[in-house]
Amino acid sequence: MHALSMSNRCLKQVFYIAHRTTLVVTGLGGATMSIFDRGERKGMTSVAAAGDAAARERIVETAIELFAAKGIDNVSVRELTGHAKVNVGAINYYFGSKAKLAELVFEQLAIRISKRRIDDLERVLRDAAGRSARPDLASVVRAFIRPYVDPAMKTEGALLAQLILQHRLRPTSTTMRLIKKHFDPLAQRFVGALAQCCPEIPRPEFYWRYTFMVSTVVLTVSDLSPRHRLVRLSAGTADPSDAAATEEALVRYLVGAMSAPAQSTPVVP
**Residue 77 near residue 86 (C-beta atoms within 8 A):** no
Rounded distance, CA 43 to CA 29, Å?
A: 28
Rounded distance, CA 28 to CA 121, Å?
A: 66
pLDDT at 175: 85
Please give the CATH topology (third level) of the domain spanning 52-96: Arc Repressor Mutant, subunit A (1.10.10)
Q: Is the pLDDT of residue 193 over 90?
A: yes
Domain 98-259: assigned CATH number: 1.10.357.10
Q: Is the pLDDT of residue 20 over 70?
A: no
Q: Is the pLDDT of residue 26 over 50?
A: no
**Residue 209 near residue 144 (C-beta atoms within 8 A):** no
Stronger pLDDT, 57 or 17, i.e. the higher one: 57
Domain ranges in the chain are 52-96, 98-259
Share of residues in the chain with pLDDT > 90 (%): 50
pLDDT tens readout for residues 97-151:
998 998 898 888 889 999 999 999 999 999 999 999 999 999 999 999 999 999 8
pLDDT tens readout for residues 35-78:
334 444 445 455 455 568 889 999 999 998 888 888 888 899 99
Q: What's the Cα-to-Cα distance from 88 to each of 10, 50, 78, 96, 97, rounded to whole Å? A: 40, 19, 6, 13, 12
Q: Is 154 exposed, middle or buried (0-12, 13-18, 19+ CB in 10 A)?
A: middle
Helical H segments across 131-202, by residue range: 137-149, 154-169, 173-178, 184-197
Helical H segments across 172-237, by residue range: 173-178, 184-197, 203-221, 229-233
Give the closest residue to 64 by CA, choosing from 150, 149, 154: 154
pLDDT at 93: 94
Q: Is the pLDDT of residue 22 over 50?
A: no
pLDDT at 23: 34
Q: Is 152 exposed, middle or buried (0-12, 13-18, 19+ CB in 10 A)?
A: exposed
pLDDT at 11: 36
